[in-house]
Protein backbone atom coordinates (compact mmCIF):
# COMPACT_ATOMS: atom_id res chain seq x y z
CA UNK A 1 0.00 0.00 0.00
CA UNK A 2 1.34 3.44 -0.95
CA UNK A 3 2.67 5.07 2.25
CA UNK A 4 1.75 8.57 1.04
CA UNK A 5 -1.83 7.52 0.36
CA UNK A 6 -1.92 5.79 3.74
CA UNK A 7 -0.90 9.01 5.49
CA UNK A 8 -3.52 10.99 3.54
CA UNK A 9 -6.12 8.32 4.38
CA UNK A 10 -5.50 8.65 8.12
CA UNK A 11 -5.52 12.45 7.95
CA UNK A 12 -8.93 12.33 6.23
CA UNK A 13 -10.02 9.58 8.61
CA UNK A 14 -9.21 11.73 11.65
CA UNK A 15 -10.85 14.79 10.13
CA UNK A 16 -14.08 12.99 9.23
CA UNK A 17 -14.26 11.09 12.53
CA UNK A 18 -13.84 14.32 14.49
CA UNK A 19 -16.45 16.04 12.33
CA UNK A 20 -18.94 13.22 12.91
CA UNK A 21 -18.42 13.46 16.67
CA UNK A 22 -19.10 17.21 16.49
CA UNK A 23 -22.15 16.94 14.23
CA UNK A 24 -23.79 13.99 16.00
CA UNK A 25 -23.83 12.58 19.52
CA UNK A 26 -22.57 9.10 18.69
CA UNK A 27 -22.89 6.40 21.30
CA UNK A 28 -20.17 3.79 21.85
CA UNK A 29 -20.13 0.95 19.35
CA UNK A 30 -22.03 -1.79 21.19
CA UNK A 31 -21.01 -5.34 20.35
CA UNK A 32 -17.73 -4.26 18.73
CA UNK A 33 -15.16 -7.09 19.01
CA UNK A 34 -12.46 -6.54 21.65
CA UNK A 35 -9.81 -7.16 19.01
CA UNK A 36 -10.19 -5.99 15.43
CA UNK A 37 -10.56 -8.92 12.98
CA UNK A 38 -7.40 -9.72 11.04
CA UNK A 39 -7.13 -10.91 7.46
CA UNK A 40 -9.92 -10.57 4.86
CA UNK A 41 -12.68 -8.40 6.33
CA UNK A 42 -15.98 -7.34 4.76
CA UNK A 43 -17.70 -4.51 6.62
CA UNK A 44 -21.46 -4.19 6.12
CA UNK A 45 -23.80 -1.42 7.29
CA UNK A 46 -27.36 -0.26 6.74
CA UNK A 47 -27.77 2.83 4.58
CA UNK A 48 -30.40 5.37 5.75
CA UNK A 49 -28.30 8.55 5.56
CA UNK A 50 -26.38 8.62 2.26
CA UNK A 51 -22.60 9.10 2.37
CA UNK A 52 -22.35 9.48 6.15
CA UNK A 53 -23.27 5.84 6.88
CA UNK A 54 -20.01 4.24 5.67
CA UNK A 55 -17.95 6.77 7.65
CA UNK A 56 -20.12 6.19 10.72
CA UNK A 57 -19.23 2.46 10.72
CA UNK A 58 -15.63 2.66 9.48
CA UNK A 59 -14.75 5.30 12.09
CA UNK A 60 -14.85 2.47 14.66
CA UNK A 61 -12.00 0.65 12.84
CA UNK A 62 -8.32 1.53 12.81
CA UNK A 63 -7.20 -0.34 9.68
CA UNK A 64 -7.59 1.20 6.19
CA UNK A 65 -10.81 0.22 4.45
CA UNK A 66 -11.67 0.13 0.75
CA UNK A 67 -15.20 1.14 -0.24
CA UNK A 68 -17.52 -0.36 -2.82
CA UNK A 69 -19.35 2.66 -4.30
CA UNK A 70 -22.05 2.96 -6.94
CA UNK A 71 -20.71 3.70 -10.42
CA UNK A 72 -22.77 6.90 -10.80
CA UNK A 73 -20.36 8.64 -8.42
CA UNK A 74 -17.49 8.07 -10.86
CA UNK A 75 -18.96 9.86 -13.89
CA UNK A 76 -17.02 13.11 -13.51
CA UNK A 77 -13.33 12.85 -14.36
CA UNK A 78 -12.18 14.38 -11.07
CA UNK A 79 -14.50 12.18 -8.98
CA UNK A 80 -13.33 9.15 -10.96
CA UNK A 81 -9.67 9.97 -10.27
CA UNK A 82 -10.22 10.84 -6.60
CA UNK A 83 -12.38 7.83 -5.71
CA UNK A 84 -10.19 5.34 -7.53
CA UNK A 85 -7.09 6.82 -5.91
CA UNK A 86 -8.55 6.83 -2.42
CA UNK A 87 -9.70 3.27 -1.97
CA UNK A 88 -13.07 3.16 -3.76
CA UNK A 89 -14.12 0.47 -6.24
CA UNK A 90 -17.04 1.25 -8.62
CA UNK A 91 -19.95 -1.20 -8.68
CA UNK A 92 -22.71 -0.97 -11.29
CA UNK A 93 -26.42 -1.00 -10.48
CA UNK A 94 -29.33 -1.28 -12.96
CA UNK A 95 -30.11 2.45 -12.71
CA UNK A 96 -26.46 3.37 -13.40
CA UNK A 97 -26.09 1.68 -16.79
CA UNK A 98 -28.98 3.09 -18.84
CA UNK A 99 -30.50 -0.23 -19.83
CA UNK A 100 -27.36 -2.08 -20.92
CA UNK A 101 -26.33 -5.34 -19.17
CA UNK A 102 -24.54 -4.87 -15.86
CA UNK A 103 -20.83 -5.74 -15.90
CA UNK A 104 -19.26 -6.01 -12.46
CA UNK A 105 -16.54 -8.52 -13.32
CA UNK A 106 -13.76 -6.01 -12.75
CA UNK A 107 -15.26 -4.79 -9.47
CA UNK A 108 -15.52 -8.37 -8.17
CA UNK A 109 -11.96 -9.12 -9.30
CA UNK A 110 -10.52 -6.04 -7.57
CA UNK A 111 -12.52 -6.79 -4.43
CA UNK A 112 -11.33 -10.41 -4.33
CA UNK A 113 -7.68 -9.44 -4.86
CA UNK A 114 -7.87 -6.80 -2.14
CA UNK A 115 -9.39 -9.21 0.37
CA UNK A 116 -6.94 -12.00 -0.45
CA UNK A 117 -4.11 -9.60 0.44
CA UNK A 118 -5.67 -9.29 3.89
CA UNK A 119 -7.54 -6.04 3.21
CA UNK A 120 -10.86 -4.69 4.47
CA UNK A 121 -13.78 -3.77 2.22
CA UNK A 122 -16.92 -1.78 3.08
CA UNK A 123 -20.19 -2.65 1.29
CA UNK A 124 -23.66 -1.14 1.68
CA UNK A 125 -25.55 -4.39 0.97
CA UNK A 126 -28.97 -2.76 0.50
CA UNK A 127 -27.71 -1.20 -2.74
CA UNK A 128 -29.48 2.11 -2.16
CA UNK A 129 -29.97 4.75 0.53
CA UNK A 130 -33.45 5.43 1.89
CA UNK A 131 -34.36 7.29 5.08
CA UNK A 132 -35.86 4.29 6.84
CA UNK A 133 -35.40 2.51 10.16
CA UNK A 134 -35.90 -0.94 8.73
CA UNK A 135 -33.31 -2.90 6.76
CA UNK A 136 -34.19 -3.16 3.10
CA UNK A 137 -33.58 -6.58 1.44
CA UNK A 138 -29.83 -6.92 0.95
CA UNK A 139 -28.20 -7.83 -2.35
CA UNK A 140 -26.11 -10.93 -2.97
CA UNK A 141 -22.89 -9.05 -3.81
CA UNK A 142 -21.28 -9.32 -0.37
CA UNK A 143 -21.89 -13.06 -0.19
CA UNK A 144 -20.61 -13.61 -3.74
CA UNK A 145 -17.41 -11.66 -3.11
CA UNK A 146 -16.74 -13.63 0.11
CA UNK A 147 -17.39 -16.95 -1.61
CA UNK A 148 -15.05 -15.95 -4.46
CA UNK A 149 -12.29 -15.51 -1.88
CA UNK A 150 -13.02 -18.94 -0.38
CA UNK A 151 -13.00 -20.52 -3.84
CA UNK A 152 -9.62 -18.98 -4.64
CA UNK A 153 -8.14 -20.13 -1.31
CA UNK A 154 -10.14 -22.88 0.47
CA UNK A 155 -7.89 -22.61 3.53
CA UNK A 156 -8.78 -18.95 3.95
CA UNK A 157 -11.65 -17.57 6.05
CA UNK A 158 -13.55 -14.29 5.63
CA UNK A 159 -14.71 -12.16 8.56
CA UNK A 160 -17.85 -10.04 8.36
CA UNK A 161 -18.25 -7.00 10.63
CA UNK A 162 -21.92 -6.02 10.60
CA UNK A 163 -22.99 -2.54 11.68
CA UNK A 164 -26.52 -1.36 12.43
CA UNK A 165 -27.01 2.42 12.64
CA UNK A 166 -30.08 4.06 14.20
CA UNK A 167 -30.39 7.86 13.90
CA UNK A 168 -32.66 9.72 16.28
CA UNK A 169 -33.02 12.47 13.67
CA UNK A 170 -31.05 11.88 10.45
CA UNK A 171 -30.11 15.45 9.38
CA UNK A 172 -30.38 17.30 12.72
CA UNK A 173 -27.28 18.82 14.29
CA UNK A 174 -26.27 17.09 17.59
CA UNK A 175 -28.94 14.40 17.34
CA UNK A 176 -28.17 11.01 18.88
CA UNK A 177 -26.86 8.03 16.93
CA UNK A 178 -26.59 4.46 18.23
CA UNK A 179 -24.48 1.81 16.49
CA UNK A 180 -24.59 -1.93 17.20
CA UNK A 181 -22.07 -4.41 15.81
CA UNK A 182 -21.86 -8.14 15.28
CA UNK A 183 -19.04 -10.27 13.88
CA UNK A 184 -19.30 -13.40 11.74
CA UNK A 185 -16.44 -15.54 10.43
CA UNK A 186 -17.12 -17.85 7.50
CA UNK A 187 -14.81 -20.60 6.25
CA UNK A 188 -15.17 -23.40 3.74
CA UNK A 189 -16.28 -25.83 6.46
CA UNK A 190 -19.17 -23.54 7.48
CA UNK A 191 -20.85 -23.62 4.06
CA UNK A 192 -23.86 -25.91 3.48
CA UNK A 193 -22.65 -26.70 -0.05
CA UNK A 194 -20.10 -25.86 -2.73
CA UNK A 195 -19.06 -22.19 -2.78
CA UNK A 196 -19.91 -21.81 -6.48
CA UNK A 197 -23.55 -22.89 -6.13
CA UNK A 198 -26.31 -20.27 -6.08
CA UNK A 199 -28.00 -21.97 -3.13
CA UNK A 200 -24.88 -21.25 -1.05
CA UNK A 201 -24.96 -17.60 -2.11
CA UNK A 202 -28.60 -17.34 -1.02
CA UNK A 203 -27.87 -19.10 2.28
CA UNK A 204 -25.05 -16.69 3.18
CA UNK A 205 -27.08 -13.65 2.07
CA UNK A 206 -30.04 -14.67 4.23
CA UNK A 207 -27.72 -15.30 7.20
CA UNK A 208 -26.18 -11.83 6.88
CA UNK A 209 -29.61 -10.22 6.50
CA UNK A 210 -31.01 -11.87 9.63
CA UNK A 211 -28.00 -10.82 11.70
CA UNK A 212 -28.18 -7.23 10.43
CA UNK A 213 -31.90 -7.01 11.16
CA UNK A 214 -31.12 -7.75 14.80
CA UNK A 215 -28.78 -4.75 15.02
CA UNK A 216 -31.31 -2.01 14.34
CA UNK A 217 -34.97 -1.16 14.66
CA UNK A 218 -36.25 -3.43 11.91
CA UNK A 219 -39.99 -3.23 11.40
CA UNK A 220 -41.37 -6.09 9.35
CA UNK A 221 -45.03 -5.25 8.65
CA UNK A 222 -45.75 -2.38 6.29
CA UNK A 223 -47.92 -0.75 8.97
CA UNK A 224 -44.96 -0.60 11.35
CA UNK A 225 -42.86 1.07 8.67
CA UNK A 226 -45.54 3.74 8.17
CA UNK A 227 -45.62 4.16 11.93
CA UNK A 228 -41.88 4.84 12.08
CA UNK A 229 -42.13 7.40 9.27
CA UNK A 230 -44.95 9.09 11.15
CA UNK A 231 -42.85 9.08 14.31
CA UNK A 232 -40.25 11.15 12.45
CA UNK A 233 -42.94 13.70 11.56
CA UNK A 234 -44.41 13.83 15.07
CA UNK A 235 -41.14 13.97 16.99
CA UNK A 236 -41.57 17.62 18.12
CA UNK A 237 -44.78 16.64 19.94
CA UNK A 238 -43.08 13.72 21.64
CA UNK A 239 -39.77 15.33 22.45
CA UNK A 240 -39.75 14.49 26.17
CA UNK A 241 -38.60 10.86 25.90
CA UNK A 242 -36.34 8.63 23.85
CA UNK A 243 -37.56 7.24 20.55
CA UNK A 244 -38.57 3.93 22.13
CA UNK A 245 -40.90 5.70 24.56
CA UNK A 246 -42.24 7.91 21.78
CA UNK A 247 -42.93 4.86 19.64
CA UNK A 248 -44.84 3.15 22.46
CA UNK A 249 -46.88 6.31 23.05
CA UNK A 250 -47.76 6.64 19.39
CA UNK A 251 -48.60 2.94 19.08
CA UNK A 252 -50.90 3.15 22.11
CA UNK A 253 -52.65 6.23 20.74
CA UNK A 254 -53.22 4.66 17.32
CA UNK A 255 -54.54 1.49 18.93
CA UNK A 256 -56.92 3.51 21.12
CA UNK A 257 -58.15 5.86 18.36
CA UNK A 258 -58.35 3.29 15.58
CA UNK A 259 -59.44 4.45 12.14
CA UNK A 260 -59.73 8.07 13.20
CA UNK A 261 -56.03 8.25 14.11
CA UNK A 262 -55.07 6.50 10.88
CA UNK A 263 -57.04 9.12 8.94
CA UNK A 264 -55.32 12.18 10.40
CA UNK A 265 -51.96 10.42 10.21
CA UNK A 266 -52.53 9.82 6.50
CA UNK A 267 -53.46 13.49 6.07
CA UNK A 268 -50.27 14.53 7.83
CA UNK A 269 -48.15 12.37 5.51
CA UNK A 270 -49.88 13.89 2.49
CA UNK A 271 -49.15 17.38 3.81
CA UNK A 272 -45.48 16.60 4.27
CA UNK A 273 -45.23 15.04 0.81
CA UNK A 274 -46.94 18.06 -0.74
CA UNK A 275 -44.82 20.72 0.96
CA UNK A 276 -41.54 18.81 1.24
CA UNK A 277 -41.37 19.27 5.02
CA UNK A 278 -39.33 16.86 7.11
CA UNK A 279 -41.39 17.25 10.28
CA UNK A 280 -44.25 19.21 11.79
CA UNK A 281 -43.55 21.28 14.89
CA UNK A 282 -46.37 22.59 17.13
CA UNK A 283 -44.48 25.87 17.58
CA UNK A 284 -44.96 26.63 13.88
CA UNK A 285 -48.72 26.93 14.22
CA UNK A 286 -48.97 30.10 16.30
CA UNK A 287 -45.39 31.40 16.40
CA UNK A 288 -45.06 35.21 16.18
CA UNK A 289 -41.30 35.35 15.64
CA UNK A 290 -40.29 37.45 18.67
CA UNK A 291 -37.83 40.20 17.88
CA UNK A 292 -35.39 39.08 20.56
CA UNK A 293 -34.66 35.89 18.63
CA UNK A 294 -33.83 37.85 15.52
CA UNK A 295 -31.59 40.18 17.50
CA UNK A 296 -29.68 37.19 18.86
CA UNK A 297 -28.73 36.14 15.35
CA UNK A 298 -25.23 37.36 14.42
CA UNK A 299 -25.71 40.69 12.65
CA UNK A 300 -22.11 41.50 11.74
CA UNK A 301 -21.24 41.13 8.06
CA UNK A 302 -18.27 38.90 8.86
CA UNK A 303 -20.48 36.49 10.83
CA UNK A 304 -23.06 36.38 8.04
CA UNK A 305 -20.32 35.71 5.52
CA UNK A 306 -18.98 32.92 7.70
CA UNK A 307 -22.43 31.34 7.91
CA UNK A 308 -22.95 31.74 4.17
CA UNK A 309 -19.76 29.81 3.45
CA UNK A 310 -20.54 27.03 5.92
CA UNK A 311 -24.31 26.69 5.47
CA UNK A 312 -25.47 28.73 2.49
CA UNK A 313 -23.22 27.15 -0.13
CA UNK A 314 -24.14 23.55 0.83
CA UNK A 315 -27.84 24.45 0.73
CA UNK A 316 -27.41 26.07 -2.68
CA UNK A 317 -25.50 23.03 -3.93
CA UNK A 318 -28.25 20.69 -2.72
CA UNK A 319 -30.95 22.70 -4.51
CA UNK A 320 -28.96 23.07 -7.73
CA UNK A 321 -28.28 19.34 -7.91
CA UNK A 322 -31.88 18.55 -6.87
CA UNK A 323 -30.64 15.97 -4.40
CA UNK A 324 -32.98 13.57 -2.62
CA UNK A 325 -33.86 14.36 1.01
CA UNK A 326 -31.65 11.50 2.13
CA UNK A 327 -28.61 13.63 1.20
CA UNK A 328 -29.53 16.49 3.59
CA UNK A 329 -27.19 15.41 6.36
CA UNK A 330 -24.37 14.59 3.94
CA UNK A 331 -24.50 18.02 2.31
CA UNK A 332 -24.64 19.83 5.65
CA UNK A 333 -21.83 17.75 7.13
CA UNK A 334 -19.45 18.07 4.18
CA UNK A 335 -20.37 21.73 3.75
CA UNK A 336 -19.58 22.44 7.38
CA UNK A 337 -16.36 20.42 7.21
CA UNK A 338 -15.09 22.29 4.15
CA UNK A 339 -16.65 25.59 5.20
CA UNK A 340 -14.87 25.70 8.54
CA UNK A 341 -11.53 24.92 6.90
CA UNK A 342 -12.07 27.75 4.40
CA UNK A 343 -14.27 30.13 6.36
CA UNK A 344 -12.31 30.35 9.61
CA UNK A 345 -9.00 31.51 8.02
CA UNK A 346 -10.97 33.91 5.80
CA UNK A 347 -12.85 35.29 8.80
CA UNK A 348 -9.60 35.68 10.77
CA UNK A 349 -8.02 37.62 7.89
CA UNK A 350 -11.06 39.90 7.56
CA UNK A 351 -11.05 40.64 11.28
CA UNK A 352 -7.37 41.51 10.99
CA UNK A 353 -8.32 44.26 8.54
CA UNK A 354 -10.61 45.77 11.17
CA UNK A 355 -8.92 45.01 14.48
CA UNK A 356 -5.21 44.56 15.18
CA UNK A 357 -5.69 43.04 18.65
CA UNK A 358 -5.41 39.26 18.39
CA UNK A 359 -7.18 38.80 21.76
CA UNK A 360 -10.33 40.53 20.47
CA UNK A 361 -10.15 38.63 17.19
CA UNK A 362 -9.82 35.32 19.06
CA UNK A 363 -12.80 36.15 21.28
CA UNK A 364 -14.92 37.16 18.27
CA UNK A 365 -13.93 34.06 16.35
CA UNK A 366 -14.92 31.86 19.29
CA UNK A 367 -18.34 33.54 19.45
CA UNK A 368 -18.84 32.90 15.73
CA UNK A 369 -17.89 29.22 15.93
CA UNK A 370 -20.18 28.61 18.90
CA UNK A 371 -23.13 30.56 17.50
CA UNK A 372 -22.95 29.15 13.97
CA UNK A 373 -24.93 25.88 14.30
CA UNK A 374 -27.44 27.44 16.73
CA UNK A 375 -28.02 30.44 14.45
CA UNK A 376 -28.57 28.20 11.45
CA UNK A 377 -31.09 26.10 13.36
CA UNK A 378 -32.94 29.29 14.34
CA UNK A 379 -32.98 30.48 10.75
CA UNK A 380 -34.43 27.17 9.54
CA UNK A 381 -36.96 27.40 12.34
CA UNK A 382 -38.19 30.80 11.06
CA UNK A 383 -38.26 29.55 7.47
CA UNK A 384 -40.44 26.59 8.44
CA UNK A 385 -42.82 28.86 10.35
CA UNK A 386 -43.32 30.91 7.18
CA UNK A 387 -43.74 27.75 5.13
CA UNK A 388 -46.40 26.46 7.49
CA UNK A 389 -48.22 29.79 7.49
CA UNK A 390 -48.23 29.97 3.71
CA UNK A 391 -49.79 26.51 3.62
CA UNK A 392 -52.43 27.54 6.15
CA UNK A 393 -53.38 30.59 4.05
CA UNK A 394 -53.68 28.44 0.96
CA UNK A 395 -55.86 25.85 2.72
CA UNK A 396 -59.59 26.53 2.58
CA UNK A 397 -60.76 23.69 4.78
CA UNK A 398 -58.95 24.00 8.12
CA UNK A 399 -61.12 21.64 10.10
CA UNK A 400 -58.67 18.77 9.72
CA UNK A 401 -55.87 21.06 10.98
CA UNK A 402 -57.78 21.65 14.20
CA UNK A 403 -58.37 17.91 14.57
CA UNK A 404 -54.69 17.26 13.97
CA UNK A 405 -53.64 19.74 16.64
CA UNK A 406 -56.04 18.20 19.16
CA UNK A 407 -54.69 14.69 18.61
CA UNK A 408 -51.07 15.81 18.73
CA UNK A 409 -51.59 17.78 21.92
CA UNK A 410 -52.99 14.62 23.49
CA UNK A 411 -49.93 12.70 22.32
CA UNK A 412 -47.66 15.31 23.87
CA UNK A 413 -49.43 15.00 27.22
CA UNK A 414 -49.07 11.21 27.14
CA UNK A 415 -45.36 11.44 26.35
CA UNK A 416 -44.70 13.82 29.23
What contacts 253, CB < 8 A, 6 or more positions away?
261, 407, 410, 411, 414
What contacts 304, CB < 8 A, 6 or more positions away?
298
User: Which of 244, 199, 252 has the alpha carbon at shortest distance from 414?
Assistant: 252
Residue 287 has pLDDT above 80, yes or no: no
Task: Identify the burial level of 413 via C-beta atoms within 10 angstroms of its C-beta, where 0-12 means exposed, 13-18 middle and 19 or more buried.
Answer: exposed
Residue 228 has pLDDT above 60, yes or no: yes
CA 347 to CA 302: how far, in whole Å?
Answer: 7
Task: Cite the residue boundaries of each domain of the chain with CATH code 3.40.1130.10.
Answer: 3-213
Which of the pair, 148 or 302, is modelled with greater confidence? 148
Indicate the CATH number for domain 3-213.
3.40.1130.10
Residue 28 pLDDT grade (very low, low, confident, very high; cuts 50, 70, 90): confident
Give pLDDT tens digits for 324-371: 667 777 777 777 676 666 666 666 666 566 555 666 666 666 665 555
DSSP codes, 249-281: HHHHHHHHHTHHHHHHHHHHHHHHHHHT-S---
Residue 159 has pLDDT above 80, yes or no: yes
* Strand, coil or helix: 162: strand
CA 38 to CA 314: how far, in whole Å?
Answer: 39
Q: What is the mean pLDDT of the chain?
A: 76
Residue 237 pLDDT grade (very low, low, confident, very high; cuts 50, 70, 90): low
On whether the CB atoms of residues 9 and 62 are closer than 8 A, the answer is no
Sign of CA dihedral 257, 258, 261, 263: negative
Which of the pair, 376 or 151, is modelled with greater confidence? 151
Amino acid sequence: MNPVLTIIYYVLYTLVKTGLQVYYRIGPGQGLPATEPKGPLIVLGNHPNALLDPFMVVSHLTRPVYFLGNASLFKHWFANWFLNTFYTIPIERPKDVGGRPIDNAQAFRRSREHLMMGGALYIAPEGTSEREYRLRPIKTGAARIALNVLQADPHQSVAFLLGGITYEDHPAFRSRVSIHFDCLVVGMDDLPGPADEWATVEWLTELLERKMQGLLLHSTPEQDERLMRSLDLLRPWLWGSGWRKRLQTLQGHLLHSGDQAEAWLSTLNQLVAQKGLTAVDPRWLDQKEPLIRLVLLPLAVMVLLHHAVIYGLPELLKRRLKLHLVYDATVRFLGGLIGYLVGVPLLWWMMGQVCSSWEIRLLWLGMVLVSGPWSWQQWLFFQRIRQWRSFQKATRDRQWLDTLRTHLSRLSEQAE
